[in-house]
Structure 1
Amino acid sequence: MKGILTKEKYVIWHTCSLYLIIPLFFYVIMIVTLFIRKTTLDGFPIGMVYMFMGITPIATTNADIQSRWNTSCLTMPYSRSQIVSAKYICALILTAGVTVSWLMMIFICRMLGADITVNTILSLTFTGIAFGLMPASIFLPLSFKWYNTTGGKRVVLGGIMGGVIGAADSYILSNVPGAKGSAIFMGMMTAVFFISWLISVKIFERKDV
C-alpha cells in the first residue's frame, strides 16, 4: 500500500503541481479582504480551494492510463481494493492538508487583529471539508467503471462534475448555513465519501481490465 501511495504522490507532484499554488492565491485574497477592504470572511469561497485539491487524485487517472499503470498495476502484489483506496486516501490527505494550512492562516490573521468570528471559521471549515470530499465521492466510482478508457466519456463527466460542484459551492457559500448547518453538510458528505469508496472497490473488483 505504501508503494501505491508513493506512486500517487509522485504523479501528483509531476502532473498537478500547479494545483498546489491555488491555496496561496486564495489566501492572498483572504488577506486583502480582511486587512485592505476591511470586510468579513462570510461567504469566502474557501470551498474552491478544497474542491481543486479534491480533484487532484482524479486528475492523475489520465497519467495512469497514458503510462499503462491501469493494467500493469494488476501484475503487482496489490489488491484491487488497495489500488482504489489509494485514490481515496490521497483525497483525505489533501483535504487534511488544506484544513491545516487554512486554520494556520486564520490563526495568523487573528493574531494580527483580524475580526473573524468562531462561527465563521467553523462554517467555512466544515463547508470546505465537505467540498474537498465531494469530487472523489462523485467521480471516482465512474472513473473506476471506465478506468481503461479515454476520450469523450471522461471529458463529459469531468465537465458535468465541475459544473455541479462549482454551482453547489457558489450557492452554499453565498448562503452560509452557520456552524451547525455546515457541520451537518460535512457529516453527510463524509458518509457519502465512504459509501462511494465501498462502491468503487466493488466496481473495480468486478471489472475486467
Structure 2
Amino acid sequence: MFTGIIEATGVLKELTLKGGDLALRVQSHNLDMSDVQLGDSIATNGVCLTVVAKHSDGFSADVSNETLGLTRFSQYQKGQKVNLEKALQATSRLGGHLVSGHVDGIAEIVSSNSNGRATEYWLQAPENLMKYIPYKGSVAIDGISLTVNAVEKNRFKLTIVPHTAQETTIADFKVGTKVNLEVDQISRYLERLIQGQSSAASESTLTTGLLAKAGFIK
C-alpha cells in the first residue's frame, strides 16, 4: 500500500527480456534504500514492484506479462525517468490517498495550459474508468496522488503546483504523454459491495439511486 507522495525519482538502467517477461534495474541516488529488504514493495511510476535484488543505488525487480499488458512498462526504454515510493508504514503520515499500485488503465494528456504558477492538464481516460473519477476525488497518475479539479465526459483536469512538478516526472509531461492511471480504491470496493456476488460478472449498475437505497447518500 502507498500514499502517492513521491519520495524520489530514478531511471531505468536495465531492461531485460527474461523468460517471456521483463526484468529491470532502477537507479536512484535519492531513494533511501537503508531500510529496504528483499521482497519489499516499491511503487515505480505507480506500479507495485517487488524488490528481488538490492543495490547501493537502487533495486532490481521483475515485471509480469499481466503488468506489461496493463501499464506503460511495455513501452518504456532504457533511461526512462520514473517516480518512486516505498510501501506505506503504519507510522507514516497519509499525505496523499490510499494507493494500491495496481494500475487500472492508461490515460493520455490531451491539453495543458498555465494558470498562475500552476499548470493545468486535461487527460483522457478509458470510458469504463470515468465513473470512478469524481470531481474533487483522488487519482494516481504515474504513482502521484492528485486531485481531480474538473470532469467532462471521458476527460478530467489536474492542477499541478510547481513543487509537485519539480519533485516528480510531471515536469516532462506534454500533450500526447500517456500515463499509468489508478482510480480511487474506495469507489471500486463500494461498487463491488453494492453489486453483491450474484452480479460480480455483470456490467456495472452503480447509480446515485442505488447508492441512496443502500444508505450511502441522502
TM-score normalised by L of structure 1: 0.27
**Comparing both structures, which one devotes a greater share of its residues to strand?**
2
**Higher relative CO (CA 8 A, sep ≥ 6), structure 1 or 2?**
1
**Comparing both structures, which one devotes a greater share of its residues to helix?**
1
TM-score normalised by L of structure 2: 0.26
